[in-house]
Homo-oligomer: A and B are copies of this chain.
Amino acid sequence: MLTPATTDTLADLRAALPADTFRDDTAPYLTEPRGRWAGSGIVVAPRTTDQVAQIVRYCHERRIAVVPYGGGTGLVGGQLMGQGDVPLVLSLERMTAIRATYPSESVLVAEAGAILADVQKAAEDIGRMFPLSLASEGSARIGGLLSTNAGGVNVLRYGNARAQCLGLEVVRPDGSIWNGLSRLRKDNTGYDLRDLMIGAEGTLGIITAAALRLVPQPAAVGAAMLAVPSPAAALDLLALAQSRLGDGISAFEMIHRQGLDFLDEVGPAFKAPFAAHPEWMVLIDIGMPAGLAPDAALETLFEVAAEAGLVTDGVIARSGADRDALWHIRESIPEANRRIGSISSHDISLPLSLVPDFIVEGGKRLAQVGHFRINCFGHLGDGNLHYNVFPLLGEARSDHEDKRAAVKDCVHDLTHEMGGSVSAEHGVGRLKVGDLEKYGDPAKLAMMRAIKLALDPHGIMNPGAVLRTLTDD
């Protein structure tokens, strides 16, 4: 049974912690990025791991809920308690230090509040690359990115957030500190608690710092936008590209004509890559070792692929500016989607070989729910589609409010039937708790509940995220 945070809580904490720990303007912390709901809470922003521990210990003793808060960019409500007892929102925004860099180890240690773009910059400064890259990198923070196991555009080559982490410092739900900031590449001494904390969305403890692995900067990079006859051809193209260029392929993004049509309709402005928008395109990005010119490698790939009937047209970047222009298209699509206004958006993944079937079958099933425009795009190399459903031209999303649940169920049911996931990279948060219960393996759910209870017996850590709160059971 939890206790709400009150003015007494605030008074206690004010007496124990520096004045600048507290945030009086709580509104920015209590609003969901898409404006779907609002939360409540007392907001604190400690400066050190010890202060985090002190606050959590206080809450543990009094059974007050703690909601860890990173950059606030999460799309599934993991950072926001919309209901239940008033929590303490613990923002990591003042713990932004890059504590250390180890160039010869290709490692840096960042505090949880470090913004992704700043971590990328710190890696560049020592001649390395931090490969995690995603739309919100200017505001998303390392703690949140790890807690949600964020994905992005470079997962194909470098893996998701999990793969970038060597060690963690974590404040446990009882306020004790796990000093797990290992810089080791290999360590088989005991259970893999690092990966358990990563992706736990703040429900098992608060990540306060991380040792991150960096990668070599590719000697040269390149990109091409290729028109493909179908999603199946896109997959064959991926296999062909991998057989030629190995893991030099950093990103393999599929784009549908609908995305370019939306850009034409509402912007942002872009330079059309082809005279007419093809039905399907692939944006391929590569990083090559010294001695191999990326544009030449892409040209040969294009020729071989064209001969095999896998591509019908192509634009190969001849400069950094060309490459940026191609990426600008891909990166503008989410903004165009927002301007159009989706009825329902889905972050799904599928076994790679089933992606083409999913697209056909999904279109058929949705046609039985209503008439929509579908913008299906995303990280094809990872089997991760952003499958978003929009009203027809001239209609508004509000015209379809009644169909929203049916659209979501239609897409999620099919995803589940085909062995896919209804949250590929965004996490569960509070938005998809029901989905997890509906589609999740019962044995897995039972283990998750047992672990939550074992590590957070009072259930104070981010209650209601990932798992329904125990008192709701």
Contacts and interface: CB of A to CB of B under 8 A. Distances in A.
Interface stretch (A114-122, A135-143, A283-291): A283-291
A423 B188 contact: yes
A419 interface: yes
A291 B446 CA distance: 51
**Stoichiometry, copies per complex:** 2
A187 interface: yes
Interface string A277-300: 000000000011111100011001
Mostly helix, strand, loop or mixed at chain A's interface? Answer: mixed
A193 B421 contact: no
A291 B248 CA distance: 13
Interface string A128-169: 000000000000000000001101000110011011000000
A375 interface: no
A322 B170 CA distance: 49
Contacts of A406: none
A18 interface: no
A421 B188 contact: yes
Kindly name the residue among A189, A239, A244 whose own CB sees the greatest number of chain B CB atoms within 10 A: A189
Given A243-B216, A382-B185, A424-B187, A450 B454 contact: yes
Contact of A425 (B179, B188, B193, B247): B188
Given A184-B421, A239-B104, A436 B190 contact: yes
A453 to B, nearest CB: 7
Most buried by B among A159, A236, A439: A159
Nearest to A449: B454
A188 B140 CA distance: 17
Interface of A: 102-107, 127, 148-149, 151, 155-156, 159-160, 162-163, 170, 172, 176-180, 182-193, 195-196, 198-200, 204, 215-219, 235-236, 239, 242-248, 287-292, 296-297, 300, 349-353, 379, 381-384, 419-428, 432, 435-436, 439-441, 443-448, 450-451, 453-455, 466
16 contacts: A102-B352, A106-B239, A127-B243, A160-B186, A172-B447, A183-B352, A184-B383, A184-B424, A186-B349, A187-B423, A188-B425, A189-B428, A190-B428, A196-B196, A216-B243, A453-B454
